[in-house]
Structure 1
Amino acid sequence: MIPRLYIDAPLKTGAAAPFDSAQAHYLKNVLRRAPGDEVRLFNGRDGEFAAEIAELKKKGGLAGVKAKTREQTSEPELTLYFAPVKRGALETIVQKATEIGVAALQPVLTGRTVASKLNVERLQAIAVEAAEQSGRLSIPSVGEPIKFARMFDGWPENRRLLFCDEAGDDESAEWGGREGRAPPLLEALKDHRRNTDQWAVLTGPEGGFAPEEREALRAKPFVTAATLGPRILRADTAAISALVLWQAALGDWIRP
């Protein structure tokens, strides 16, 4: 298989593209590649190019850019807002969300969020690796954590929010009982047509959203509340499931 790498530099036929030290190490010592071997390069702006390794050294390397193999294409304006969870599940969310096709990932500190300290640089590196391996032409951004109360500051007018609401309205029953539960996700989206609106998906922490957070979300006119079924899902499973269903209903998984 031809290695595929993200390069934060302009790409065009006949130009030279630089490898950083980590990429040079990966190509030379992990993949056992050498000058003359082929790679694929993309930068999120210029499309994907075939390239040939020119040199690999300890401090970096160079590739000669050859023919363009894919034109840059647009992807859905989909952002995942999610409550941070423990490291393993957190990294799974970032990796799988990138593969599924989100444009951005935004951690949100809710009232019941347990894991509040994030290594955003590490998460961004995971997003880059997932993009390289999944064949996508862009890298989703990973934002610094924000508090739930600040989530809607500067919210775009044309962005809708799919709120994964797993609770009901019966305060005496576990998880709010069945009364007041949101409709299933695909049913909640059936009246929304594929259009140019931006979308975001919001999933909560393992303990769910606090009642006041849920009330505030459901009061917003641009929020669509939905449930992910009769079972309580782990936070990482919920995020992946919601993104998959949104892509199948409104995203670029639909046949054009």
Structure 2
Amino acid sequence: MPPRYDFRTPRLFVADALSAGTAVPLDKGQSNYLANVLRLGAGDAVLVFNGRDGEWLAALQPEGRKTVSLSIAEQTRPQHEPCDLHYLFAPLKHARLDYMVQKAVELGVSRLQPVTTRHTQAARVNLERMQANAIEAAEQCGILTIADVVEAMPLAKVLETWSDGRVLIFCDEDAEVRDPIAALSVVQKGTPLAVLIGPEGGFAEDERTMLLRQPNVVRLALGPRILRADTAAVAALSVVQSVLGDWS
């Protein structure tokens, strides 16, 4: 049986529409990466995707000393609908936020929503850096869609505009049901989901009260140990995907 994905051919995200016979110009950074870092030459294969038209096989076409384009040949994988899984998180600082964004994308989230809370450590969120990390993770892991990256919002404002149709899975060390599988069993598979991870200092009591007043809230315990926020993200998203997502 052939491999599900081709991980040997370089893979790039582009914004342009993709179809057979078209040419896609690359920006300076992408051109440098293919021609000078990977040392590809004319005619070498590259996989390309845009989050809308599936994945396509293309050939490298140098157009000068510093720029190249891609000649689109044939589709290798059709586009599919991503999981309807939002990830809400209290921002972290620099490298740990980079790691968390990359792992969340690898685990199939469709939306990245920074949420500020009473004990949030990072005051500012670099959305461009988050987007770059989301794209890099998708390029490296064979993912066909790019998660939406949205502006940071206070927790209270997020909950004020919450859709009753989306279940909020709230990671809470004080959850009464200690078994995460049992806690998630009350949710019907196929329901729109959101996973919320708080700051390392935890939620303030008024924030926890506000969360528990929301409709369609599931409290999820993540075991007997205290996890760092980036580790908790991997643990929570893995459990959710295995029980309610596209792993099962």
Q: TM-score, normalised by structure 2?
A: 0.93
Instruction: Tell me the amino acid that sits aligned with residue 251 of structure 1.
Output: G
Q: Which residue of 1 aligns with 2:208?
A: 214
Q: 1:187 aligns with which of 182, 187, 203?
A: 182
Asked if residue 125 in structure 1 is aligned to residue 162 in structure 2, the reply is no
Partner of 2:220: 226
Report the Cα distance in structure 2 between the residues aligned to 1:103 and 1:232, rounded to whole angstroms.
27
What is the aligned counterpart of 2:199 among 205, 209, 221? Answer: 205
Cα distance in 2 between the residues matched to 1:251 and 1:92:
22
Distance 1:33 1:112, change over 3 A: same
Supply the distance in 2 between the matched residues of 1:18 and 1:156 (Cα, whole angstroms).
Answer: 40
Q: 1:64 is matched with which residue: 71, 82, 103? A: 71
Once the two structures are TM-superposed, the CA of residue 47 in structure 1 deviates from its matched residue by: 0.5
- Secondary structure of 2:241's aligned partner: helix
Q: Which residue of 1 aligns with 2:89?
A: 82
> What displacement does 1:59 show?
5.8
1:236 aligns with 2:230: yes
Across the two proteins, how many residue pairs are aligned to each other?
241
List per-residue Cα deviations over 1:92-127 (Å, max 9, x = no partner). Answer: 110000111100111100000011211110110010
Deviates most, 125-134 or 111-120: 111-120
User: Percent of aligned positions with the same letter in both sequences?
Assistant: 46
Contact map agreement 1:28 1:56 (CA 8 A) in 2: no
**How do 1:127-166 residues align onto structure 2 when only pairs under 5 Å count?**
127-166=134-173
Structure 1 segment 24-43 matched on structure 2, within 5 A: 24-43=31-50
RMSD after superposition: 1.4
Q: CA deviation at 1:70?
A: 0.3
CA distance in 1, matches of 2:168, 2:178: 15
CA distance in 2, matches of 1:135, 1:154: 33
Superimposed CA distance per residue, residues 39-59 of structure 1 (whole angstroms, 9 cap, x where no aligned partner)? 001011111000001125566
Write the letter of the residue equivalent to 1:112: H
| Aligned partner letter, 1:200 | A
Distance (whole Å) between structure 1 residues aligned to residue 179 and residue 123 of structure 2: 30
Secondary structure at 1:28's aligned position in 2? Answer: helix
Residues 220 and 29 of structure 1: is their aligned pair in 2 closer, same or farther, counting only changes over 3 Å? same
Partner in structure 2 of residue 109 of structure 1? 116
Deviation string, structure 1 residues 68-105 (Cα, Å, up to 9, x no partner): 10010112110100001121211111000011110011
Residues 186-229 of structure 1: per-residue CA shift (max 9 Å, x gap): 2111122312x210000011111101111111111211111101
User: How far off its partner does 1:152 sit?
Assistant: 2.1
- In the alignment, the residues of structure 2 paired with residue 123 and residue 189 of structure 1 have an alpha-carbon distance, to the nearest angstrom, of 29
TM-score, normalising length: structure 1: 0.90
| CA deviation vs aligned residue, 1:222-241 (integer Å, no higher than 9, x gap) | 11111101111001001111
Are the equivalent residues in 1 in contact too, given 2:164–2:215 (CA < 8 A)?
no
Change (3 A) 1:25 1:56: farther
The separation in 2 between residues aligned to 1:214 and 1:60, in whole angstroms, is 53
